[in-house]
Amino acid sequence: MAFELPPLPYNYDALEPTISKETMTFHHDKHHKAYTDKLNEGVEKDPALQGKTIEDILASISSQPPLVRNNGGGYWNHDFFWKSMKQGGGQPSGALAEAIESTFGGLDKLKEEFNTKGAGQFGSGWAWLIVDDAGTLKVTSTPNQDNPLMDDVKDRGTPLLGNDVWEHAYYLTYKNDRAAYLKAWWDVVDWDVVGQRYDAAKK
């Protein structure tokens, strides 16, 4: 098999009460696994994809069928998502904190814009904080399992942070209240990782 389901970088209950053990178990073991398995089905059907990294595949996704687009996106997005969170969260620091201040006027303003994008994404999708080609921080959203690495999305860039606004990400705890989930989620954002991504993107 080309791609393997990466293990969660913490225990299933590590992000409680923000994300319940039950949500985490289904989200990782069922949803993320299904994206991984179906991505592998797509890769098996196309020898040209075999041996490519997921990032390479995403960078030319416009030439791929929906099977590879949806599940390649789902595979990458969830791995990125797990790694963006930790118990206890934290606060932005260093160059990232300065960029958030100068771009958005502070962390609260960034959260507000991000939550509005996430709540406004009709149906399923993701909200993102990215660095665009000009080196500027930007809040965006994508439908389905699209992401900012795909060559044909409206807002391309280097993802720093992403939140999954599919109902499977929050329904067991927050029911239909996506806004409540978006608001609570900041408690588990690993700002150290986001800052490292920012520093790497600016190099």
Whose tokens are 């909200």? That residue is 127
| Least distance (Å) between residue 23 CB and Mn ion | 10
Nearer Cβ to Mn ion (76/166):
166
Contact set with Mn ion (CB under 5 A): 164, 166
| Least distance (Å) between residue 123 CB and Mn ion | 13
By 3-state DSSP, what share of the chain in percent is helix, strand and coil, each rounded to 5? 55, 10, 35
Nearer Cβ to Mn ion (164/190):
164
* 175 Rama sector, left if φ>0, alpha if ψ -120 to 50, beta otherwise: left
Nearer Cβ to Mn ion (140/163):
163
HSE-up of residue 88 (Cα within 13 Å, Cβ side):
2
| Least distance (Å) between residue 95 CB and Mn ion | 30
**Count of Cβ atoms closer than 10 Å to residue 171 Cβ:** 15
Chain centroid offset of residue 108 CA? 20
Nearer Cβ to Mn ion (81/104):
81
Nearer Cβ to Mn ion (99/188):
188
CB-based contacts of 194, cutoff 8 Å, min separation 6: 84, 92, 96, 129, 160, 161
Nearer Cβ to Mn ion (33/109):
33
Which residues pair with residue 138 across a beta bridge? 130
| Least distance (Å) between residue 145 CB and Mn ion | 8
Residue nearest Mn ion, Cβ-based: 164
| Least distance (Å) between residue 177 CB and Mn ion | 17
| Least distance (Å) between residue 85 CB and Mn ion | 13
* 89 SS3 class: coil
* 130 SS3 class: strand
